[in-house]
Amino acid sequence: MQRNIHLFLIYALTAVGLLQSVGYIIHNNDLVFFALATRASPLPDVFGGSKAFEPNPYMAEFVFDFEDGSQKIVPKADYTNTLRRNGPTGRFFRFIGYIVVINWMPVIPESTYKPVLRHGFCTGGAIAELLGLKKPVRGFTILLNNAKDDGKPDYRYSVSCSD
């Protein structure tokens, strides 16, 4: 009896796990959303969900605008070296959340990423501290390049520290 219950649960969980894929195949959004709601159908929507953006945090470049009117550009190489110097132990793990947000800015709502980035990059923030920014930051721009890295930013995000 217990073996039958065990087999039933295995088959049921497998069926629920495949619901999202089946919903995509037969173009049934109701089935897809039902499967998502069960939280037992974890189809990673890697390319479609990201609008074909391939995230790479090491392709980010930063331009900081300070209260005194000056600017500081943090090129990709400096940012990458800073992250590598501080990881994979110690302070690096404090910044993983920011790295994830930077990676996925092209696909997450502005109302989600702006407060997180303000917290880390504006005066007194963890990333501002890591990058050695001593002056009060008025705002910053993140130039995000796709993995092809042809030298031109694919995405440009400006964040004001006063909002």
- End-to-end Cα, the chain, rounded Å: 62
- pLDDT of 76 reads 73
Q: Is the dihedral of CA 65, 94, 59, 83 positive or negative?
A: positive
pLDDT digits (tens), the chain, 163 positions:
788 898 998 898 888 888 888 888 898 878 877 877 776 766 655 544 545 455 565 567 889 999 999 999 888 766 666 666 665 555 566 677 787 788 778 777 888 889 989 998 898 887 888 778 888 999 999 887 765 556 666 788 899 998 7
- pLDDT of 144 reads 79
- pLDDT of 124 reads 81
- The count of residues in the chain is 163
- pLDDT of 136 reads 92
pTM of the full predicted structure? 0.61
Cβ partners under 8 Å of residue 114, min gap 6: 159, 163
Measuring CA to CA, which residue among 111, 162, 107, 110 is closest to residue 139? Answer: 162
Cβ neighbours, 10 Å, residue 124: 11
User: Cα torsion for 128, 129, 132, 136, to the nearest 10°?
Assistant: 60
